[in-house]
């Protein structure tokens, strides 16, 4: 017997939100440079509790950290990726791995914005997740 409604399509993947941790944390002069890992953890926790403000649908949030912020653990709602080298390069890799899916990169870095929009991702600034 066939399904009268036709084949069932898989549910669309949630919006992939890739956050440039160093750029977002560095966008506010709040002493983050004294404890980069702690600042990244505070950003992670804020993202886990608030998600993506203004976005009603489901999201998958990936926080990319580098340098002294490496080693921040993932928590429910936020996967943390410790970049082995450049955080920007890891963000571009993640964006490229998910072509065909809706992707939003949170950064103010002009060169990174250029690189990810060339892959079809949208971009927004740090205020999106901080205000």
Span 117-126, pLDDT tens digits: 999 999 999 9
Question: pLDDT for 53-110, tens place per residue?
Answer: 888 889 999 999 999 999 999 999 999 999 999 999 999 999 999 988 999 999 999 9
How many Å apart are CA 28 and CA 24, to the nearest integer?
A: 8
Does 24 have pLDDT greater than 60? yes
Q: What is the pTM of this model?
A: 0.90
- Rounded Cα gap, residues 108 and 124, in angstroms: 7
């Amino acid at each position: 017997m066939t399904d009268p409604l036709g084949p069932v399509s898989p549910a669309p993947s949630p919006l992939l939100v890739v956050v440039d941790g160093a750029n977002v944390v560095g966008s506010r002069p709040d002493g983050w440079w004294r404890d980069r890992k702690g600042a990244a953890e505070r950003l992670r926790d804020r993202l886990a509790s608030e998600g993506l403000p203004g976005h009603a649908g489901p999201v998958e949030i990936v926080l990319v950290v580098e340098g002294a912020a490496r080693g921040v653990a993932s928590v429910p709602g936020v996967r943390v990726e410790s970049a082995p080298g450049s955080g920007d390069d890891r963000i571009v890799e993640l964006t490229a791995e998910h072509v065909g899916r809706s992707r939003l990169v949170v950064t103010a870095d002009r060169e990174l914005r250029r690189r990810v929009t060339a892959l079809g991702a949208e971009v927004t600034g740090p205020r999106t997740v901080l205000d």
